[in-house]
Amino acid sequence: MIYPVLIPELRSSYGFDLSTAGLLLSLLWVSTAVGQLPGGIISDRFGEGWTLLMSVVISGVMLVLVISVNTVAALFALTVLLGLGLSLYGVARYTAMRDLFPNRVGFSVGIVLAAADIGQSLLPPIAGFLVVFLSWQFGLGFTLPFFVIAAIALWAYVPARTSTSASPIDSLSVAGFRTIFSGMSTPTIMYGTVLFLLFVSLWISFTSFYPTYLVEVKSLSSTRASLLFGAFFGAGVFVKPLCGAAYDRIGIRPTMLSIALVSGIALVVFPSVEGTVPILLITVLVAPILGSGTIVQSHLINALADEIKGTGLGVIRTIGLGLASIIPSIFGAAADRGFFDEGFYALAVLAVLMMVVTTRMPTN
């Protein structure tokens, strides 16, 4: 989430328009999506702990290279490789929580994602400060020590494998994928996949252009926009565990309907508010949508068979992130043509669609 904070400075340094900035963010998300399925397969075959460690090491190396180049082509290419490295982390963290806390999947996933939001609430403002007073390279490069610390912690404390056995899928064959998809052809998983697609489309679009919107439309400074961006994820620190616990207790339907309704209304109001405090209040009201990821992915993990949970979730996340990754390009192109406000109204429509799909989902 530091990348969106860098967009104004990258545009200044490289002469980007908003469409090109959207393309860069789309490529980051496309590469993140492409790696979800391999990440799930690697997790099932070789273990969750090893997959998490591999992701951190590869991502750290790519980060060093990203801040070392000075051409647009290299920036785009290495951003893709960075996304591939990060993608390996996505599936393994969820399946590890399912293995370690089988009776509290929603709450444990919420805690893990809330921990991520602590970083996402603190790091973008720091990055914004460094971008303003130093350069975008410092705004991204200051995270390198955290990659080193994470790698050491994963090596020392996370088991190489948290699941009880390796996947029975031995190869990327037609028969292997037939086995996977036969285990995924249930109403719960199919509706859950659509719900995940809607959530991630809304989330990617909002977070990709929120800082730029505040700077270019609301005329806020980059530092203030970064602080508000951090507040969005700061709210997620509280929202995600609460949503996970609510899912564990009362199920997916009432929890998802409530948060989609609140966030949808806030998205409609967002373009019309002015001033730092009103924008902050609306931003906090949009933040409950972050809990959707906790709920729907917990629901999917519970529905997937143990032997394909990593690969199956990898397929779902690849589909969802892959399709949703085109949205920043569309959003950026619309913004270039003067439809920045309307982009947020479109996101409110996605929240309504989430409510519609939720009413169709099996609750068990």
Cβ 203 vs Cβ 327: under 8 Å: no
Question: What is the Cα–Cα distance from 235 to 121, expressed in whole angstroms?
Answer: 8
By residue count, the chain amounts to 364
Average pLDDT of the segment spanning 336-364: 85
pLDDT-wise least confident of 117-126, 209-218, 261-270, 305-314? 305-314
| AA identity, residue 119 | G
The residue with greater pLDDT, 351 or 100, is 351
Q: What is the mean pLDDT of the chain?
A: 79
pTM exceeds cut of 0.75? no
Residue at token pair 């270039």: 336
Residue 268: pLDDT band (50, 70, 90) is very high
| Domain 2-159+173-360 coded CATH 3.60.20.10 | no
Q: What per-residue confidence (pLDDT) applies to 160?
A: 64
CA atoms within 13 A on the CB side of 119: 12
Question: What is the Cα–Cα distance from 282 to 353, expressed in whole angstroms?
Answer: 21
| 347 Cβ contact partners less than 8 Å away, ≥ 6 residues apart | 202, 205, 206, 267
Q: Which of 126, 116, 123, 24 is nearest to 79 (CA)?
A: 24
pLDDT per residue as tens digits for the range 192-204: 888 888 888 888 8
Question: What is the Cα–Cα distance from 96 to 308, expressed in whole angstroms?
Answer: 13
Mapped onto helix, strand or coil, the DSSP state of residue 142 is: coil
Average pLDDT of the segment spanning 184-210: 82
Q: Torsion angle, CA of 242/245/246/252, rounded to 10 degrees?
A: 120
Q: What per-residue confidence (pLDDT) applies to 180?
A: 58
**DSSP run (H or E) holding 324:** helix 309-324
The residue with greater pLDDT, 156 or 314, is 156
Question: What is the Cα–Cα distance from 244 to 294, expressed in whole angstroms?
Answer: 6
Question: What is the Cα–Cα distance from 259 to 263, expressed in whole angstroms?
Answer: 6
Domain ranges for the chain, please list them. 2-159+173-360
Indicate if the pLDDT at residue 169 is higher than 60: no
Residue 266: pLDDT band (50, 70, 90) is very high
| 108 Cβ contact partners less than 8 Å away, ≥ 6 residues apart | 97, 100, 101, 244
Residue 281: pLDDT band (50, 70, 90) is very high
pLDDT per residue as tens digits for the range 302-343: 777 666 666 777 778 777 777 777 777 787 788 878 878 888
